[in-house]
Amino acid sequence: METSDRITIRLEREILSRMDAFLAGSPRFGSRSHLCRIAVRQFLESVEGLSNRVTVEVPRAYIDFMDALVSNGYFLSREEAIQRIIKEGLSEERVKDMIQHQETMGKASGKMFPVELERRDSAKKA
């Protein structure tokens, strides 16, 4: 069994109320401690680059629009919407356009900025 140390944290009442409301509707997390362990682990993996999760701030209007598309059945979830938008935004044709633009700007400025397509292509296969 894994050993663990005990810590104490202070959270605002509003955060605790939100946490408790979330836990009431999500019994799989079990307790505040369990939720905090998962949240800290995921946060550290994210900032250390060990996760395939990315956190970005998105204007509220875009989130509302995605939610409307999900509720109308166009996407199954926000996650699927974001993945499809990224996939379409990084289509082979779009990437070629970006590389061509980059080469044009490089020639004009005298600076070249190489783009590694191997990573993009391997992500496309996943």
- Per residue in 90-100, pLDDT (tens digit) is 888 888 888 88
> For 55-68, what is each residue's pLDDT tens digit?
788 899 999 999 99
Question: What distance in Å separates the CA atoms of residue 73 and residue 69, rounded to the nearest whole number?
Answer: 6
Structure tokens at 23: 């836990």
Nearest-angstrom CA–CA distance, 64 and 82: 13
User: Is the pTM value of this prediction over 0.75?
Assistant: no
Helices (H), 1-126: 13-25, 32-47, 60-71, 78-89, 92-109, 117-125
